[in-house]
Amino acid sequence: MTMPLDKPYISGHFTPVTDEITGRELKVRGTLPPELNGRYFRNGHNPKPGITPTHWFRGEGMIHGVRLTGGRAEWYRNRWVRTPFLDGVPFTGTELEVSAAATNIIFHGGRYLALQEANLPWEVSADLDTIGVHDFGGKLTSAMTAHPKEDPETGELHFFSYSPFPPYLTYYVADASGNIVKSEVIDGSGPSLMHDFAITREHVVFINSPVVFDHAEQSGIPYRWHDDVPLRIGVMPRAGGRTTWFEVADQAALLHVTNAYTDAQGRIVLEAPCFDRSAWESSWKWWVGTPGYGTSPATGSTFYRWIMDPATGKVTTESLNDLVTEFPSINDAHTGSAYRYSYAIAFPGAGLSGYHTVKFDTRTGQEKLLAHSEGRMPGEAVFAPAEGGTAEDDGYLLTIVSDLTADASELLVLDASDLSTVAAVELPRRVPAGIHGHWIPDSELPA
C-alpha cells in the first residue's frame, strides 16, 4: 500500500537509502581502540523505493554493518534482509516466515539473526547476505520477540512469543549452542502489545500494558491504548513455578526494558522508560504519520523503576529521571543483575532542544549528557567492553549518527565512562536513523 510521502518515518533522519553498497578502509578520526575487533551491526526499517508503509514498524528491514579490526575500520556494508516481505508478499500474521526482519539483530549459537516480533527470525551471514528463515530446527512454531535476553553467565537465550489470540504468551529458552530446551505457555497474560521483557538471575519478568489488540486500529499494527486495562507485571521463577502478576496503580506502557534484578530483600526491580497515555498517543502519531505528530519518534517517555515485593504482593513505582529518553542500553555483562549505569537517546523536550546521548547513574540519580550538534541524531548506544576493564563502565559506546546538514553519517566510538569521543569512523553514505543493533566481537565467533 502506498501513501503520501510526507510521513516522518521516511523523511529527515529516517529517509531511506535506495541501494546496497560496500565501502572499504574507511577514514577514521581519532584512534580506534585496538581491542575492538568485531562487527557492529544495526537493523532498521528501510522501505524500498516507491513504497510508503502504513506504520514505521512495517518498513522493510535493512542491516548496516561496520567491521573493525586492529585499529582499522575495514569495511562498511548495508544489505536488505531478503525475506518474502521484501519481495512484496503481504504480512497476514499466519505465515511466520513473511517478516520485515527490521527491528534487531543478534548473534547466538553461531548465527546472526534478524528479528521482528511477529515472525520467525531470519539468518544472515557475517557479511550480511541473507541465508534464510530460522526456526531452531523446527522447535519454534510461533513468532519470536525482537528483544531476547542472553544470560551472561550461562549463555542461554531467553525469549518469548506473544499473540492477540490464546495462548497469549509463550516463553522459550535456548541453550548456548542455540537449541531450544524449554517452551512454556504463561498463564494470566492477555492480548497486550509485548515488545520487550526482562530476566533476573532468579526470575523472568513479563509486561502487560494498556496497549492491547484492537480491530479498530487501521495503521497495520492493530493495538490501541485502553483506559480500562492496567499495567501488569508478571514475575515467574526461572527454576519453575507459577507466574505472579502485579497490578500497577498508574497506567503506563513500556516498549524497551533497561534492566531488571533481584535486590537484597528478595524484591524484583524493573527499570525502563515508560509512556503515559498522552506520551504514547503523541508518539503513535509519529509512528503512523497522522496529523499532529511531533518532531521525533519519542514524546514524553521518561525513566521509571518498579519494585515488586513477593512477600506483600505489592508493587511500588519510582520516577528516576524527567528527560525524554528511549532506546536504553547497559553493559550486557550485567543483564539480570544489579547494575549502576545505563545509556539512552535523550530526545528534544524536558528542557533539551536537540538530541543527546545520556548516561544515567541509577545509584546516585545523576545524569551525564553528550549534546549532538544541530542536524545530528545519534542512535542507540551499544556497549563494547574494554580489554582488561574492571569497572562496569570500562568500555565504549558505539552509535551511528545521522547528519542531515552534511548528508553523511559516522560511527562514533565514545568512552562509556565520560561520553568523550574516542574515534569517529566516516561512513561512505548517510545511514538512516534506525532501531537496534549489537557489537559482536570476534572472540564470540566459533573457532
Using the Cα atoms of residue 226, residue 228, residue 229 and residue 232 in order, give the sign of their dihedral.
positive
Which residue bears the cell 534506525? 434
Assigned C-alpha cell, 72: 582499522
* Predicted local distance difference test score (pLDDT) of residue 2: 37
User: What would the pLDDT profile of 35-57 be if each residue is shown by its tens digit?
Assistant: 999 999 999 999 999 999 999 99
Q: Enumerate residue ranges in the chain where pLDDT < 70.
A: 1-5, 447
Assigned C-alpha cell, 170: 509463550
Q: How far apart are the C-alpha atoms of 107 and 310, rounded to whole Å?
A: 34
Measured from the Cβ of residue 340, the count of other Cβ atoms closer than 10 Å reads 15
Q: How far apart are the C-alpha atoms of 329 and 297, rounded to whole Å?
A: 18
Q: How far apart are the C-alpha atoms of 209 and 254, rounded to whole Å?
A: 7
Q: How far apart are the C-alpha atoms of 352 and 356, rounded to whole Å?
A: 8
Contacts of 88 (CB under 8 A, 6+ apart): none
279-308 core/surface letters (b: 16 or more CB in 10 A; e: else)? bbbbbbbbbbbeeebbebbbbbbbbbbbbb
% of the chain with per-residue pLDDT over 90: 94
* Predicted local distance difference test score (pLDDT) of residue 93: 73
Q: How far is CA 290 from CA 54, 123, 220, 282, in A?
A: 10, 34, 13, 10
Give the helix/strand (H/E) hosting 27.
none
> Is the separation of the CB atoms in 162 and 149 below 8 Å?
no
Residue type, 190: G
In DSSP notation, 43-66 reads EEE-PPTT---SSGGGSPEEEEEE
User: 3-state class of 429 per DSSP?
Assistant: coil
* Predicted local distance difference test score (pLDDT) of residue 419: 98
The mean pLDDT of the chain is: 96
* Predicted local distance difference test score (pLDDT) of residue 3: 38
User: What would the pLDDT profile of 315-346 be if each residue is shown by its tens digit?
Assistant: 999 999 999 999 999 999 999 999 999 999 99
